[in-house]
Amino acid sequence: MTPRIAFTPGEPAGIGPELAVKLACSERPTPISHAQIVAIADPDLLQQEAARQGKSLQLIAFDADKPAEPTPANSLHIHAVSLAATAQPGRLDPANGAYVLETLRIAAEGCKDSTFDAVVTGPVHKGVINEAGVSFSGHTEYFAQNAGVEKVVMMLAADDLRVALATTHLPLKDVSAAISGDALQQVLTILHRNLREQFRIEHPRIGVCGLNPHAGEGGHLGREEIDTIEPALDTLRALGLNLIGPLPADTLFTPPQLARCDAVLAMYHDQGLPVLKFKGFGRAINITLGLPYIRTSVDHGTALNIAGTSVADTGSLLAAMHQAIELVQLRHI
């Protein structure tokens, strides 16, 4: 089968349009070259970016009623959405906030009705969407709300390292209160299920970080491990989950311990992601677990400071595309 992948380039003033053109006009490795890539974007924006790069880009009108076929070299299939205002690299314009949200809506609806097999997202700018008068906290929350899903899990991956987060974008002072037994069980259940169903790991091994230094040092450096984390893990172990920990993060993120794990659950954003980005910066990707469809994303932001300079690296986008297509193929085995 030919996977049909929706691609939203994201903020039009950022590096998303540049990445889209580079994806189209550079050699695509397998399996990306065997997929149909449907950019949900303003066609004039992409053609202007191609002209700026001195590249010839063919845009093929997307027809959902036709069987999926691989997107040819130097081309993108296009589901056209019009900008509200002309985009200038590096200059945010709240007038285009609704445009960004419309591209996400089309991708989400298309994934739900099986028009698309997966969605890959470029970087958006949360601030400018909020300035446009729309409350928006991020891709992950948007897709969850659109799908009617109560809880999703953010997992980042780089090479063979997968790191999921028990909490995401919270001030450090709020993390402890957000880690409850029920919340941990919910996150770990979603992580376990997706490792089995999406990644086809029959018996996932999940390493779990403690919250405190030394995983609390037996209660001397905090009691969250004793009062909350360990009871939650014991409950899930009784249901058959293979959980390692809680271990101190500086112990768990070492090669011998990671070799025992298919994924790691970090308690907060900056506990796990610095390690992952050190290992695979430029190749790391974001995967949303718990949605009724496959969604991957680049691991970087809009990079307004380099927009329009042609120096943006496609490494993370290619990795996100590759992972999405691989997950689609695994579903059809």
Please give the annotated binding residues, written as ranges: 139-140, 169, 214, 269, 277, 286, 295
> 32 to each of 4, 151, 285, 323, 324, how far by Cα in Å?
10, 30, 16, 10, 10
**What are the binding residues for a divalent metal cation?**
169, 214, 269
φ, ψ dihedrals at 58, nearest 5°: -100, 130
Q: What angle do CA 8, 152, 327 make, to 5 degrees?
A: 60
CA atoms within 13 A on the CB side of 71: 33
Two structure tokens written together for 98: 């609704």
Report DSSP state, residue 71: P
Q: Is the dihedral of CA 258, 210, 212, 281 positive or negative?
A: positive
Two structure tokens written together for 155: 């997992």
- Strand, helix or coil for residue 148: coil
Whether the Cβ atoms of residue 42 and residue 98 lie closer than 8 Å to each other: no
> 285 to each of 4, 46, 53, 116, how far by Cα in Å?
19, 23, 26, 20
- Strand, helix or coil for residue 183: helix
**What are the binding residues for substrate?**
139-140, 277, 286, 295
Please give the torsion angle defined by the CA atoms of residues 286, 291, 293 and 299, in that order, rounded to the nearest 10 degrees. Answer: -10
